[in-house]
Amino acid sequence: MEQTQDNLLFRWFIGLAMDDAFWVPTVFSKNRERLIEHDNRLYMQIAIQLNAGPLQVPFGLRNGRLFEPLQVERGKGCGCTCPGCGAALIAKHAPAGKVSPHFAHAYGEGCSTGLESALHLAAKQLIADRNELYLPPLEPSVVKEGFDGRSVERKKLLRPGGLVPLSSVRLEIGLGDIRPDLIVAAPDLEVLVEVARTSFVTPEKLVKIKTYGKPAVEFDISKLHHLGFKDLETVLFTPSPSVKWVWHPEEATGKANLQALVDAEMEAARAQWEQEQAELEKSQREVDEEFALLGYRRSLAGERNGYAAIPAKKTFVSYKEQLARMQAFAQLSPQKQIEEGIQAMGADGARIRELLPLKVSGAHAIAAPFLAWQAPVFALFIHKAMKLSNTTVDAEVVRGWLRERFSISDDKAFGVAVWYFLKGLEELGILHRKFRQEFIVLVPDLRGALVVAKDTRAGQRMPLAWAPQEEAWPSREKSKAVARAFSEAFGDSGGWDRISGLLPAVRTLKTPEAAVRYYGNTNGRGITPEHVRRFLLATGFAF
């Protein structure tokens, strides 16, 4: 025993003597923990011999109440005894403040229970004097990883935290084979209270607490630098991370309800995702393979300007080739992806920045700049769409195309971004919403989109002029293709076809503004002045 004590004393003394800032908190603190676990009583005796401040008795007991050293006379005249062993204490403090105030056993024999007993009695005295105690909020939470790899967390506040009045405070009352530090009676429940500095609630003790069926709260005072009434009051009566529920019978029920809620939400999210995937796959199968990969179909031979009256022949692209193209596009830098979209629009592509990008909500979910994904979508699904006899843009198809080529962090926000992008083009007069997820393309190319968007932004107040016939007068095929799109969007296919055929002759008789008023007065047949004006600008009859 003597050799063991000398060995432990040597190791601990070396730890105290070291000034190195790294060694002390790591090596010494670990040695100290091992010493406590090895033999708490032996460590207490060594600490007392070395006058280790944190292990001195912080309170003295006199006439049934605890006092701090500065509250009583200095020396043996303090009249205090040790709360643990009952031996006489000496109050040590100096007027100059050179000695940290503390109590010491009068005859230096020390004890292993004085510190813990003093703390428990001090806690009881403070709580009994105020007849209240801070109880933390009871807010069980459930965290579960979803099918998509994202964590879902749900919380529910069952009891708010705060000071509660107490009707009784009892110290160390035995409950079977457990002995909590305090038992307090709040208005609607009885709570077991643990005030812990070195001995915290173990798993074994927790099992016994649950068996007893009473809620238990633990106050951690191990991090207090000074064990005085003021510091204890901070822990016992104010919100602090040092207090927590060890167990509460309502918590298990609350967690079970939260778990059921999270499971239901995840099941609903999975079902919705599976439905969306099924719809997306269906839509993808209906999309021309080469068109979906920026491989535009060639126009029919003999058709002037490439505006086909019937669908062009589809070109088969193998799945392997599709996959290779998708992967190659996904690996491009944002600037290269923008250039791909611009190149797909030919000579007009350089002007895309006059129209795009559109600032839309939810775009943060797409790991690319606005223009990097908007330019390819515009090139693929809108520019030259009429040349391919394809005037419908499906929002689901656009989302599927983007999802295969860009990293998406939030599927819901991503869907919002695509939707508002298409809606933004509709507000500019470039698209027209037909069904819930489908839009009709109303412009034959980027040039028409730029003119229509400019006029829309100006509130349709731009002065109109006929385009020079020898330079930019639209072909019959082009005007008929736009007329088909307008009739699909607004009705009256015969009226739009007649307008597209008569405009070349009207040019010599009326101004563009007069033509808008004349053809727009159709008694509600789907042709309005606003639509006619947009038709002239989209086709290139006027500018």
More confident residue, 475 or 423: 423
Q: Report the chain's mean pLDDT, rounded to a whole number.
A: 76
- Quick: pLDDT tens for 195-227: 888 888 888 888 888 888 889 999 998 888 778
pLDDT in the model for residue 240: 86
pLDDT in the model for residue 79: 93
Cα–Cα dist 150/133, whole Å: 39
pLDDT in the model for residue 148: 66
pLDDT in the model for residue 426: 92
User: Does residue 535 have a pLDDT over 50?
Assistant: yes
More confident residue, 356 or 312: 356
Cα–Cα dist 49/42, whole Å: 11
Its sign, for the CA torsion 161, 166, 169, 172, is negative
Find the Cα–Cα–Cα–Cα dihedral 334, 338, 339, 341, rounded to 10°.
140
| Weakest-pLDDT range from 209-213, 451-455, 506-510 | 506-510
pLDDT in the model for residue 25: 40
pLDDT confidence bin for 133, thresholds 50/70/90: very high
Cα–Cα dist 450/440, whole Å: 17
pLDDT in the model for residue 132: 92
Q: Per-residue pLDDT averaged across 109-132, rounded?
A: 85
Q: Model's pTM, two decimal places?
A: 0.44
User: Does residue 50 have a pLDDT over 60?
Assistant: no
Q: Per-residue pLDDT averaged across 321-347, rounded?
A: 73
User: Does residue 339 have a pLDDT over 80?
Assistant: no
Angle (CA) 7-11-12 rounded to 5° is 115
- Quick: pLDDT tens for 61-73: 999 999 999 999 9
pLDDT in the model for residue 350: 81
DSSP string, 172-219: S--BTTB--SEEEE-SS-EEEEEEESS-PPPHHHHHHHHHHT--EEEE
pLDDT in the model for residue 81: 93
Alpha helices (H) in 362-443, listed in sequence order = 370-381, 395-403, 411-427
Which run of H or of E encompasses 256?
Answer: helix 249-286
Q: Per-residue pLDDT averaged across 253-266, rounded?
A: 86
Q: What do you get for the CA distance between the two ends of the chain, in Å?
A: 104
Alpha helices (H) in 298-394, listed in sequence order = 319-330, 334-344, 370-381
Percentage of the residues of the chain whose pLDDT score is greater than 90: 13
Q: Which residue has the tokens 């199968």?
A: 285
More confident residue, 312 or 199: 199
**Backbone φ and ψ of 72, nearest 5°:** -130, 170
| Weakest-pLDDT range from 145-149, 270-274, 295-299 | 295-299
Classified as helix, coil or strand, 399 is: helix
Q: Which residue has the tokens 């020898």?
A: 470
Q: Which residue has the tokens 């933004």?
A: 424
User: Does residue 10 have a pLDDT over 60?
Assistant: no
pLDDT confidence bin for 108, thresholds 50/70/90: low
Look at residues 156, 159, 161 and name the one whose alpha carbon lies nearest to residue 257. Answer: 156
